[in-house]
Amino acid sequence: MRLTAVLGALAVLGGAVTAAPTASAAPELGCAWQFMSNATSLNVAFPDANATYWVLPYTLFDGDRITLSGWYPYARYMSLNTYGTDFDTVDTLRDNEIQPDEGSTNPFTDPTATDAPPDRRRWHATVTTGPADHGRNEIAALPTAAGAGRLPAGFLIIRVYVPDDASSPAGGVPLPQVSLTRGDRTVDVTTCSAPFDPAAVTGGPLGSAAESAFDSVIASAAAAAFPGDTPEATFVDPASTSGLFPNGDNKYIGAALSHQPGRIVVVRGRAPTFPDTRAGVPVTAPGTQVRYWSMCQNDLVSPYPVVACAADFQTAVDDSGYYTYVIGTDEDVPDTAVADPTVTVLPWGSTDVARKVLFLRHMLPSPQFYPQSVQASQADGVDPAVSMGEYYPRAAYCATDTYRTGGYRACFE
């Protein structure tokens, strides 16, 4: 029923799947980039509040292809990602892997191109049903071992993190132009005038299909990521991120939390260095440890929205390079934490939600930093509290009065 619901939503929402799809059917994609997801629109599956995601559902048969004509954004990070109808990753093609068009340059590989105008930031890429060659800007559309009788449907997502201009989620450039080739026909696909948000639809078959598609798959995946026996206020590797539209360039550790009046959560750890692109630092700057990192507070209940994030550039650090987060309700966060310039406060959100999860996200660690990154702990199957060293976020519940009188140190005694 879950797959049926997902494909039903695709058919209704995007036109990508027809009632009886055949390889000879006329090319159809509806309009391009039907969905937009961020902290305020289609807030599902633990998005980062400093990123925006645009989604294009598709159905591609053997030999079909989608061509993208785009611009490198003025932003910290961009990637193209394909997913199956189980919301799991098929392929990822990131910014620094995308070769520029002739006469253009890639600001994610060339530090002199950071301020290049849009007409010198052009690229083309192809979503293909065959083997994908990243060196030719190709990205695979479908799993290589799709089951017999499985409809060739999926999602293409473009992600943009930390645009230089916070008011321009796409990073100061248009979304990629899209065309679909089927057989000897190629058609241009018009970009949607406004992305569609299934969460805004109430009642009727459209709302039911959208709710079923997103909730059923995501709920199952999120429950598997942090089962009920996960220790509270302790950062651990998720059991799995499959089914949550994972980004192959990110890895996460998370701490399950619950609310009690008069209690806060305090998190302390060393902050990795990063290229502060909002301050004019190029992503190619030498010596940085990760491309991006963030701490995000999320509801651990469907549709698993983000409550708030503090990205690297939004996180206060002390003279030793350590961050201190305080998470709690307005009533519980002590005034001493709010007034401290070395402390970052994250809101608790609704206390009606019984369980929360706090995520630390690392993106693209440098080779030198890799052994202490989240990525290393998951790849090697070691305890992140050991492998990450001083970069591991140590969390503790703490009474508001304890923090007020003794600061963060009193919470770890």
* Residue with more model confidence, 164 or 353: 164
Please, which pLDDT band fits residue 204 given cuts at 50, 70 and 90? Answer: very low
Average pLDDT score over residue span 87-98: 91
Strands 138-140 and 122-128: parallel
- Which DSSP letter does residue 279 get? G
> What is the value of pTM for the model shown?
0.86
* Residue with more model confidence, 85 or 70: 70
Alpha-carbon gap, residue 335 to 65, rounded angstroms: 57
Least confident segment among 14-18, 79-83, 319-323, 387-391: 14-18
Adjacent-strand bridge partners of 361: 252, 294
Please, which pLDDT band fits residue 42 given cuts at 50, 70 and 90? Answer: low
Alpha-carbon gap, residue 254 to 85, rounded angstroms: 25
**Tokens 């994972």 correspond to what residue?**
246
401 has pLDDT over 70: yes
Dump the DSSP string for 265-286: EEEEEEPPP---GGGT--TT-T
Alpha-carbon gap, residue 293 to 140, rounded angstroms: 27
**Tokens 């301020």 correspond to what residue?**
115
- Which DSSP letter does residue 174 get? P
273 has pLDDT over 80: yes
Residue 324 main-chain phi, psi, to 5 deg: -135, 120
Alpha-carbon gap, residue 162 to 53, rounded angstroms: 12
Dump the DSSP string for 184-231: TEEEEEPBPSS-B-GGG--SHHHHHHHHHHHHHHHHHHHHHHS-TTSP
Which residues are within 8 A (CB) of 396 and not within 5 positions of it... i.e. 6 or more apart?
Answer: 233, 265, 266, 411, 412
Task: Return the closest-CA partner of residue 394 out of 260, 200, 236, 285.
Answer: 236
306 has pLDDT over 90: no
pLDDT in tens, 19-38: 334 444 444 556 888 888 77
Per-residue pLDDT, 39:
60
* Residue with more model confidence, 232 or 322: 322
* Token representation of residue 130: 């065959």
Task: Return the closest-CA partner of residue 92 out of 364, 277, 366.
Answer: 364
Please, which pLDDT band fits residue 406 given cuts at 50, 70 and 90? Answer: very high
Please, which pLDDT band fits residue 144 given cuts at 50, 70 and 90? Answer: low
Domain range list for the chain: 2-200, 226-411
248 has pLDDT over 90: no
Please, which pLDDT band fits residue 48 given cuts at 50, 70 and 90? Answer: confident
Per-residue pLDDT, 378:
82
Please, which pLDDT band fits residue 196 given cuts at 50, 70 and 90? Answer: low
Alpha-carbon gap, residue 77 to 288, rounded angstroms: 15
Please, which pLDDT band fits residue 108 given cuts at 50, 70 and 90? Answer: very high
138 has pLDDT over 90: yes
61 has pLDDT over 80: yes
Above pLDDT 90, what percent of the chain? Answer: 57
Alpha-carbon gap, residue 396 to 81, rounded angstroms: 36
Q: Helix, strand, or coil here: 262? A: coil
Peptide bond just before 384 cis, omega within 30 deg: no
Per-residue pLDDT, 175:
95
